[in-house]
A and B are shown apart, each in its own frame.
Chain A
Amino acid sequence: MSAPTTPRIVYRNARLLDPATGLDQHGDLLTDGEKIADFGQGLFSDSTPEGAEVVDLGGQCLAPGLVDMRVLIGEPGEEEKDTIKSASRAAAAGGITAMALLPNTDPVLDEVAGLEFIARRAREVKLVKVFAYGAATRGTEGNEITEMGLLGQAGAVAFTDGTKAIASAKTMRRALSYAKTFGKLIVQHPEEPSLAAGGMMNSGEIATRLGLVGIPREAEIIMIERDLRLAELTGGRLHFAHISTGESVDLIRRAKARGLKVTCDTAPHYFALTETDVGDYRTYAKVSPPLRGEMDRRAIVDGLADGTIDAIASDHVPQDQDQKRLPFAQAAPGVIGLETLFPLTLELVHKGKMPLLKALACVTANPAAILDLAVGRIVKGGPADLVVFDADVPWQIDVSRFKSKSKNSPFENRPVQGRPLRTIVDGRTVWRAED
């Protein structure tokens, strides 16, 4: 007889966590090949299925693998920053089993061929699941909408100009309208470019002291207000990426209450850092949108806690040293985030801001639902994309151990709690913690 093609693995003695269903109980989980075959309390306490490998988790947590809905990498075009391979390894080490790549590559992902290239590279690397956004406009130039239907067939999970705002109200209206044909989502980087032009950090006292050109909070607020109107006008599905101000949260909260089809995410740096982290021109704290003040940071935490903010995405933007060891004005914006997304999300739990399941939902089921991906849940017959983690272990962030090619993290040496121990994609262990 030939060897079984579908290995069966029993993860025993686990704290099973599924934010989509609210499951939080001690039990076992069986994977059969790429799928979750069964799970539950005392499932295999007496005997294990014949031929199955048994992994005793010693009471550690077992949850759906993380879904990171905002990742920028340099392939194609800037492979020195991060490739699909290096980013996949970083994701796996960060407990992420699926990530969605922004289209701001070189060339831009505005053609079917670009998306096919990403899919092929992902198959070759075969670590985590790699999804990609299609550009909303050709060349992300904000003028002509892309072939959303064909791009969708080629795998585009949604449409966005990524790190660039769709600036023209006319184009945004068309994009929202046209994407409806295919039931697709438009993701906006909410920043009015003419107000943000030349800006380097949040507008205010610190920017004034440092002599840096400020970006007013209103650049974000205005764009959100405008786009909410356009979503209402068109009936299109709209998602705001990395929101950073209290007013953004308020606006979206009210829009949701009105029944608008709108969602949003934020990134860990908007709830874990503030503009004071720019300190004495620390270019690692230069991000887009800029880090805001303490009141905004708290409002973002509150928005996560009350569910207005649906998801947390790493907003991974790798930059090599040459792009960061520069005067602040010239330095490129962005921080790496694949390997800090999980511990920084857990920080909200340890600080008592959110229960564990709710925090997990922000990085699993919620982003999966926004992008309409069949991942991010523990469900019989669903993909066995899982993370085993210790929710409490204290450690200190050490960027030198990160798998990402770029090391631009403002979180170096930050003490955190909780870390992934094993990452499983389609039933295969793609990463395990050392020791």
Chain B
Amino acid sequence: MSANPSPDTVFPHRHLLGIEGLRAGEITQILDLADGYVEQNRRPVKKSNLLDGRTQVNLFFENSTRTRTSFELAGKRLGADVINMSTDSSSVKKGETLIDTAMTLNAMHLDALVVRHADSGAVKLLADKVNCSVINAGDGHHEHPTQALLDALAIRRRLGRLDGLIVAICGDILHSRVARSNIHLLNAMGARVRCVAPPTLLPSQIERLGVEVHHSMKTGLRDADVVMMLRLQTERMSGQYVPSTREYFYFYGLDYEKLEVAKPDAVIMHPGPMNRGVEIDSEVADDLKRSMILDQVELGVAVRMAVLDLLTRERRQSDLAGAV
């Protein structure tokens, strides 16, 4: 294996739009750096001045509480000025196009722009028009790279590695950007990825992304090290993709019985927010020995700090050189 870059190395990408296309070494670089930020976040005083005087805008075209809060905390803990914009308050509601929004924000000399949008590819469209670094906080069904990174960090901290692990991603993969980012990341890091869902919740030719496809939890979870549950949107439960919540939980909801075929120390993940009793049984979700759901939330902030640090690094170094 090639040597990993040191945490001080400049990251060779201006934006983080997706995991697809990142190399294993680059993913490791982010995770290593994030490990350090986990320590910073556990100290009584959590703030540093790395991004002092830098401006970060969180532009959310889709509602989100946890991801937006996580990015906001990440920016603030690095000392950046963080502004939140949501569609309710922005001119988007007044009919401004995405590109106009991008141009307007660009004129404000931002350093980092965190974007969530309901349409796949919308974040890239924005990124093409601005000079700052853009972080994809979820675009349509495409990617949610920081979620995959925090999931990987959680797994690595708990199980010590990613390489060779069997990871079962279960549930609504069709509509899940989290699943796609995780598939790319886990494959890049040498894990074995399974997708477990009824065919109505699987995208066409998903196996071409390098995953094993299972329609039953029994085979899908066998010997798994990690069970990743996905949220099933309520509007998709009533006959559109699955006939009912009851039937879905019976066949795909995670409970101790289905978990029996997995490795004895298998861990459980969920990107939140959970539908208790739909895709996951409360008992399992709250099992502190196996559930990493709260670890995921904690590590999310650290991973986002690492990403903000890396993406602004070149700019900060060249500003420093210019100032001398």
Chain A interface residues (CB < 8 Å from chain B): 203-205, 207-214, 216, 280-281, 322, 325-330
Contact = CB atoms under 8 A, between A and B. Distances in A.
Contact of B120 (A205, A281, A325): A281
B255 to A, nearest CB: 29
Interface string B180-194: 100000000000000
Contact of A280 (B97, B121, B141, B143): B121
B205 A281 contact: no
Nearest to A321: B99
Given A205-B209, A209-B209, A211-B139, A327 B121 contact: yes
B204 A205 contact: yes
A329 B120 contact: yes
Given A204-B204, A205-B209, A322-B97, A211 B125 contact: no
A325 B102 CA distance: 12
Contacts of B208: 205, 208
Contacts of A209: 20, 180, 209
Contacts of B140: 211-212, 327, 329
B180 A211 contact: yes
A283 to B, nearest CB: 9
Interface in B124-182: 124-125, 139-143, 177, 180
Given A209-B180, A209-B209, A327-B119, A214 B204 contact: yes
Nearest to B140: A211
A319 to B, nearest CB: 14
A210 B121 contact: yes
A70 to B, nearest CB: 28
A203 B121 CA distance: 17
Nearest to A330: B119
A205 B205 contact: yes
Contact of A211 (B97, B98, B99, B120): B120
B98 A327 contact: yes
The size class of the interface chain B forms with chain A is 20 to 34
Given A216-B204, A325-B97, 5 more contacts: A209-B20, A211-B120, A211-B142, A214-B203, A329-B120
B24 interface: no
A213 B120 CA distance: 9
A328 B119 contact: yes
Interface in B1-37: 20
The 10 closest A-B pairs by CB, nearest first: A211-B142, A281-B121, A327-B119, A211-B141, A211-B120, A327-B122, A208-B203, A205-B208, A205-B205, A203-B204
Nearest to A212: B120
Counting chain A CB atoms within 10 Å of each CB, which of B119, B121, B143 scores highest? Answer: B121
Contacts of A211: 120-121, 139-143, 177, 180
Contacts of A203: 204
B207 to A, nearest CB: 9
A288 B98 CA distance: 24
B116 interface: no
Contacts of B125: 281, 325-327
Nearest to B20: A209
A325 B121 contact: no
A245 to B, nearest CB: 15
Contacts of A214: 203-204
A318 B143 CA distance: 31
B206 interface: yes
A210 B209 contact: no
A187 B100 CA distance: 40
B270 interface: no
A208 B206 CA distance: 7
30 contacts: A205-B208, A205-B209, A207-B204, A208-B203, A208-B205, A208-B206, A208-B209, A209-B209, A210-B120, A211-B120, A211-B142, A211-B143, A212-B120, A212-B140, A212-B141, A213-B141, A214-B203, A280-B121, A281-B121, A281-B125, A322-B97, A325-B99, A325-B125, A326-B98, A326-B125, A327-B117, A327-B121, A327-B140, A329-B120, A330-B119
